[in-house]
Amino acid sequence: MGETANTEGVAAVDRALSILDVFTAQDAGLTLSEIARRTGLYKSTALRLAESLEKFGYLRRDEEGYFKVGAKPLYLGTLFQRQFRTADVVPRALREIAEELRESASFFVRDEDRRLCLHRVDAPRAVRDAINEGDRLPLGTGASGHVILAFDGQAGPRYDDIRRSLHAASFGERDPETAAVSCPVFRIHQEFAGALTVSGPRYRIEEMSVGKILPVLYRHAQELTRQFGGNPDVFRALLPEAPPGL
Cα–chain center distance at 242: 20
Kindly indicate the confidence band of residue 6, based on its pLDDT and cuts at 50, 70 and 90: low
Number of structural domains (the chain) is 2
- How many residues are recorded in the chain? 246
Check whether residue 115 and residue 234 sit in a common domain.
yes
- Does residue 219 belong to any structural domain of this protein? yes
Identify the three-state secondary structure at position 188: helix
The structure's pTM equals: 0.70
| Residue 28: CATH number of its domain | 1.10.10.10
Q: What is the pLDDT of residues 110-159, one digit of tens each?
A: 988 999 998 999 999 999 998 999 899 999 999 999 999 999 999 999 99
Compute φ and ψ for 77, nearest 5 degrees: -65, -40
Kindly indicate the confidence band of residue 244, based on its pLDDT and cuts at 50, 70 and 90: very low
Domain end residue (candidates: 79, 114, 148): 79
Check whether residue 220 and residue 103 sit in a common domain.
yes
Check whether residue 43 and residue 121 sit in a common domain.
no
- Does residue 243 belong to any structural domain of this protein? no
| Residue 160: CATH number of its domain | 3.30.450.40
User: In whole angstroms, what is the distance from residue 196 CA to residue 171 CA?
Assistant: 17
Q: What is the pLDDT of residue 1?
A: 43
- Does residue 195 belong to any structural domain of this protein? yes
Domain end residue (candidates: 79, 111, 143): 79
Kindly indicate the confidence band of residue 49, based on its pLDDT and cuts at 50, 70 and 90: very high
Q: What is the pLDDT of residues 21-38, one digit of tens each?
A: 888 878 889 999 999 999
Element (H, E) at 46: helix 43-55
Check whether residue 202 and residue 112 sit in a common domain.
yes
Mean pLDDT throughout 195-204? Answer: 96
99, 111, 104, 96: which is closest to 223 by C-alpha? 96
Mean pLDDT of the chain: 89
Kindly indicate the confidence band of residue 246, based on its pLDDT and cuts at 50, 70 and 90: very low
Domain end residue (candidates: 34, 52, 79): 79
Range of the domain at 24: 2-79
Q: What is the pLDDT of residues 64-111, one digit of tens each?
A: 999 998 888 877 766 655 655 778 889 999 999 999 999 999 999 998
Check whether residue 136 and residue 226 sit in a common domain.
yes
User: In whole angstroms, what is the distance from residue 220 CA to residue 96 CA?
Assistant: 9
Instruction: Please say whether the beta carbons of 230 and 193 come within 8 A.
Output: yes
222, 49, 204, 41: which is closest to 129 by C-alpha? 204
- Does residue 114 belong to any structural domain of this protein? yes
Check whether residue 219 and residue 120 sit in a common domain.
yes
- Does residue 208 belong to any structural domain of this protein? yes
Kindly indicate the confidence band of residue 190, based on its pLDDT and cuts at 50, 70 and 90: very high
